[in-house]
Structure 1
Amino acid sequence: MIHRRELLIVPVLAFVMAHAATADENITLQDAVNRFAQARGEVTSYDVSISAQVDDAAEPVRLSNGETYVPTQRLVSFTLDIVSDLNSGRILVARLYRMEDIATGKRENENWQVWMTDARGADADGYGAGRLLSGGTRGSKPEFFDPLALGLGLEGEYGRGTPLAEIAKNFSHWPSWKPKPLGNGVLAFGSINHLYLAFDTQKDWSPVELHSKQGNSTPFEIKLDLSEIDGHWLPAKASVVTGDQRQQLTFNWNSLNRPVGHRFSLDDIANRYQIKAPRRP
């Protein structure tokens, strides 16, 4: 027997679902970006280790002067550690590259490249001044990305560590696209042949897919799997494709919203990465 209360639930659910659909249709790309940024804004510190397997065709490159550069090595994998205290604006980046000689197939590890900022005060748009503690050339820093912004940043932002706040602001200049519902709470914006972003509204509005092909730029693509960690949806695995290179990333979130000050100790950095003890500033 169906009770009167059960009969009433059906139209109520239908009204709620219809209202949610209408609300989804009224939001814009900027709304989705802002909701995502607001959710990630609850993360105040993190310590994450990222391992990546790389499939790189290492094809010859035509240079602007007409010559052709033929690479002798290719990247096969890397490890990337990122530690950030967003309240103080400090970030530590350590990256270990593993290269393969194309002719012989011999593999070798390069030394850790370690870079760290100084405290910069309350500025959410950048990391401030930093210094290279090991590896690379003076004034340089490792290639890295803001792990809280992965799936939102475009190709250049993926390589130079542009923070989430700045990336979110950049989207204010894009058209106010309306969403296309894909089911299971996922909304897509844009065009697969230009700029395409998909957000999972049920997982803190996190991006789950990005495609970018603008003008003569190299095609760039990210697909993400998410995990819930301490109440926050964060990247667990990712596929990143840039031109003819494909990276498969795996994330290990060592800590979230816990003190990370010890990770900025110069003694800890020297011991952890087996590098010469950095000079104190």
Structure 2
Amino acid sequence: MTRPITAGVDGTEESLAALAWAAREAVRRGLPLRVVHAWRLQPDVADRATQEQWVRDGVEDAVRTVAERHHGLEITTELPEGAPVETLTAAAADAELLVLGSRGHGPVVGFLLGSVGQQVIAEAARPVVLVRAGDEAAGEAAGRDIVVGQQGEPDDSAAALRFAFETAAARGATVRAVRAWTLPPVFAYSPGSLKLLDEAGGLEPYEKKALAAALQPWRDRFPDVPVVEHVEMGSAGQVLLSMAGRAQLMVVGRRAHRTAVGARIGSVAHGVLHHADCPVAVVPHD
């Protein structure tokens, strides 16, 4: 089954930027574009048919603009009536990726991630890309990297790395893989861990070897994608954000499991989403 690139729109400036981003990505990947607008009947405004027509007119105007820019792109639209979170989460389930808009006012303030976007990211079973208002194709210019965070064992970041390499291959871009590390507390050392560190030659060489091992399967699968390995001491969120200025897309992972208080994004993804000044892809993993 061919999965579409799905864009959630609501007529706002940021959602139109997300739609434009989604259309460009669909063209690059040779995939269809699906445009979804979830709406709810507003009481005491107009009858159902009139309100639905208003929604349809707005979506058709946005789609017309995209179609004029990308001749031949297959575009479908859906106007389901229902709650945005549930509707967009369901739309993500059979999409290659879901693209949403998020307001932003510069690299200091960063994204203003609303409750809908935050809940969809936490619940979606597929990658979700957040695009800020004002995003333009010029930001995807040659020389900017696909920056991806890697942590833990190779399997922990496999989904995010796969997404980053696939995106880089479609764009002819470089993958910049980032692994951050910090000094572990004294009680975390054990004879086994000390032996591994000694064999690796120290903490930083150990982290570099761990990043190289995680990247190797994807280097083999995508031999034409240039890769830069970046290992730096510091918190993962801070190190990734320091790379945002050279990124055309930032890719981070999140664990696809629920806690007692519901699904959560995770501190690293949360920080990057709110402060990176480039589009951010959040990729769920087991």
Q: Which structure is higher in RCO with an 8 Å CA cutoff and minimum separation 6?
A: 2
**TM-score in terms of structure 1 length:** 0.21
Which has the larger share of helix? Answer: 2
**TM-score in terms of structure 2 length:** 0.21
